[in-house]
Structure 1
Amino acid sequence: MTPQKPWEWPEEQWRRIVGRARAGRSLRPAIWPNGARCCVALSFDADHDTIPLRDADESPMRISQGQYGSRQGVPRIRALLERHGIKASFFYPAVSALLYPDEVRAVAAEGHEIGIHSWIHEANTQLPPGVERELTFRAADTLEKITGHRPVGMRTASWDFSVDTMTIIRELGLLYDSSLMADDDPYEIVADGEATGIVELPVEWIKDDAPYFNFQRFSGLRPYTPPSGVEEIFRAEFDGAYAEGGLFLLTMHPHITGHRSRIALLERLVQHIRSHDDVCFMTHEQVARWCLEHAAPG
């Protein structure tokens, strides 16, 4: 039987599809900690070697690009965060954590959050039935074993949120997800019409370093934006969040932002943010807990 085309779907079908993980009530708080006007949540997806491994690419060159993230990127990022007294969230594929366990333990010991970010940066929507659940649970167990702390939040690899991801998040009992894009500010996820109590800390490609800097050697499309251009975009996004009194959540990757010209971009961005007295920096876990406790009524 030939599957129906989307324009042939009955209303029940398309409503079911859009209702799997939908934005519910806003969890934007009436006020941020210590009376801050705006909250900043910096996050780093420590993919390291997993991008080529996920693609079954055994090229030492490609793998070395990921190793750069651990060898140079993470130390520079940790030093920057230490200079400015900022706690951030680091999302690790379990394979990255197994390759660099001392790094993960050191990052956690400095007070940064460690979150789930897949097993080997797999694409959830391309997995056979049941495999996503097994890999996600295995990833959570691995991070807990390495750090001694059970992760409370996750970010799907490449933000590839499948039709099964919401069920897995609920089964894991997570506090929050950070993979969806329905708002600028935190919201409660509604699954199949039911308020879940799970916080979504929304992301966006605009506030991610990868789309601006990624370079594929054998691709005809080679996007490249100078650091100054990316800095301009990130500053504008922060300025908008500050004007509205909301959340500025930024996603970066050590093997991308960790390069010399780009870590300087992040330094200047943090200095710009720091020039505002009424801004607080929080980990994703801290943001999620604060929003659940202090969401504005209505």
Structure 2
Amino acid sequence: MTDLQIKPLETWTWPQERFQKTLNRARAGRALKPASWPGNSRCAVALSFDSDHDTYELRDGGRSISALSQGQFGSRQGVPRIRALLQRHATPATFFVPAVTALHYPDEQRALVAEGHEIGLHGWIHERNTLLDGDTERELQLRAADTLEKIAGVRPAGIRTPSWDFSENTLRITSEMGLLYDSSLMADVDCYELLLHGVPCGVIELPVEWIRDDGAYLVMERWGSLRPQIAPHDILQIFIREFDAAFDEGGIFQVTMHPDIIGHRSRLWLLAELIEHIQRHQGVWFATHGDVVRHVRASCA
């Protein structure tokens, strides 16, 4: 049977109770927007980088040597260039790292921590959570946390699921692990508490959005006819407008980037220009995702 012949799920027959049960597996709860940011700053800026590296192809068996080489670029060129840029601007960031990436590039993670950056969970091998059973997803998430702690010397405080793929088990596992935050969902622009089956579960969301993700604009997929259609200058304008609005609202500007994507010379210019634009504003607090969430939790208790 082809995809076009698959019988549709007849959701129009569901009772209201089933809709509510489906929605309540992970739902946005109370908004958590602090009255102020540290140092009386007006806006918080949370830069993040997903260090997928080789895992994006290894996850599917590593058949394409070309794709693996593209992932290796992230460690050989992307991360060093990003580190130098962040150091030049005295800007902390969060790196979400698959455990297999950390195993292959342990010195990279140790150097990031030594420079004041945060290492967050990003799966074991960039797996797709919605294709896993709950026990397997839990085992991989725990194994990944243990591995990152052993390599980086700090246990991760938060998670970003690979590809932002969030299963019906993900929030329960994250809560059981005692993680402070998740950064995979998109219900708001400011932090919010996460509800599990309608009840606060102790996990705070620092939301993402494809609008603020470099991969949405710059990824090329050879066989899928997907080609970058937006020039770095135009992407910069989108990011600047997102920041300017966050600054006006006194909220959070969060952006997601990838070393093998943003780390190219013509694209790193985009990040440099963005940071310089932000730093021309008075009252901006650059912080890791973990520090943003800690401030939000303390301020909105």
Whether the TM-score (by the shorter chain) exceeds 0.5 is yes
**TM-score, length-normalised on structure 2?**
0.96
Unaligned runs of 5+ in 2: 1-6
Match of 1:33 among 34, 38, 41: 38
- What percent of counterpart residues are identical? 58
Distance between the aligned counterparts of 1:270 and 1:223, measured in 2? 23
Residue 64 (structure 1) shift = 0.5
Over 4 Å off, 4+ runs: none
Q: Structure 2 CA distance, aligned partners of 1:282 and 1:56?
A: 36
**Alignment partners' CA distance in 2, 1:282 and 1:73:** 21
Task: Specify the SS of the correspondent of 1:130.
Answer: helix
The residue that corresponds to 2:268 in the other structure is: 263
The alignment partner of 1:85 has SS state of coil
Structure 2: distance between partners of 1:54 and 1:224: 27
Give 1:96's match in structure 2, choosing from 94, 98, 101. 101
* Distance (Å, rounded) in 2 between the aligned partners of 1:137 and 1:104: 18
What residue in structure 2 maps to residue 149 of structure 1? Answer: 154
Whole-angstrom CA distance in 2 between matches of 1:281 and 1:207? 16
SS of aligned partner of 1:292: helix
Supply the distance in 2 between the matched residues of 1:292 and 1:221 (Cα, whole angstroms).
40
Counting only pairs closer than 5 Å after superposition, residues 134-145 of structure 1 correspond to structure 2 as 134-145=139-150
In structure 2, distance between residues paired with 1:21 and 1:123: 17
Q: In 2, distance between residues paired with 1:220 and 1:152?
A: 38
Q: Secondary structure at the match of 1:52?
A: helix
Residue of structure 2 in register with 1:14 after alignment? 19
Listed as ranges, the gaps of 5+ residues in structure 1 are none
Q: What number of residue pairs does the alignment pair up?
A: 295
RMSD: 1.3
Asked if the contact 1:115–1:151 (Cα under 8 Å) also holds between the matched residues in 2, the reply is yes
CA contact (8 A) 2:175 2:202 kept: no
Match of 1:187 in 2: 192
CA contact (8 A) 1:212 1:223 kept: yes
Q: Report 1:126-275 matches (<5 A).
A: 126-275=131-280
Q: Retained in 2: the 8 A contact 1:215–1:224?
A: no
Taking the aligned partners of 1:47 and 1:219, their CA distance within structure 2 comes to 20
> What per-residue deviation string (whole Å, max 9, x for no partner) do you get for residues 91-114 of structure 1?
000000001001111111111000
- Cα deviation for residue 129 of structure 1 reads 4.1
